[in-house]
Structure 1
């Protein structure tokens, strides 16, 4: 990697997601260092200060919000994007207050993340969606949150959702429902 490549810190507890995003960001010219937890990321910060950071909100141990605060205190020029499968208005507001540049709900494309780094001002022309999320999409998002909360254990997720395991497996086999 070239010495002029911007340094990106990627913090997410999903190893597969980290590997895929690391490769994608390297192909787009970033030097990437990654960590699976806030604690591990803090150790990396003692060695170097990143210009960009992608931080998952919910991980084992400390919350990604804590890391956003630490990154902002270390260097308030660091462009921080919080990326989460547990998007909520409350955590979005807190992330921005703590110093995040942008807040994106998973799934987000690499282009969405790179575009979010460049957002420095709000968009007053943004209008509310005409159509709220469909019931099917809300169900799919809820299942994904519960599945993640149970570390991918389908049986435990089915019990938590009060759903038969085979029914849950059929729902999981489908692609995400469109917005």
Structure 2
């Protein structure tokens, strides 16, 4: 028996002290996605590529808002949202402990304003996305024609383009 005890003491501990001490993690552990509201342009690229549909975008054209939400209970930490985000607004963190008392605590949301069309007044896109597109056009030194149409919805752009070409639209 003493021989066995001596052998055990020489070998050291075979378990980790987790959850009573922090768990050592590998360098590239994928954990909970962290969303930075200030960087997000509400383009919905992350929602489009999310395999379990953990990220949702719901637009309310009556209120003129779009709500971005993530359900961490559905998230599989795949990292596709981080890969697809054009502004780096969503990043995976090493945090993996998501235990909560209520499943409502697993949902994170933020609200963005929609942009009104400068011609017809209808809401058509997130305001921050329109500002982002305008900044990109300004940075590449656009001639001004496309820059003027940034705040216009697709229907008004189509009408404007057809009017310039001399095509008349017939309403049914």
TM-score by length of 1: 0.29
**The structure with more helix, counted as a fraction of residues:** 1
**The structure with more strand, counted as a fraction of residues:** 2
TM-score by length of 2: 0.30
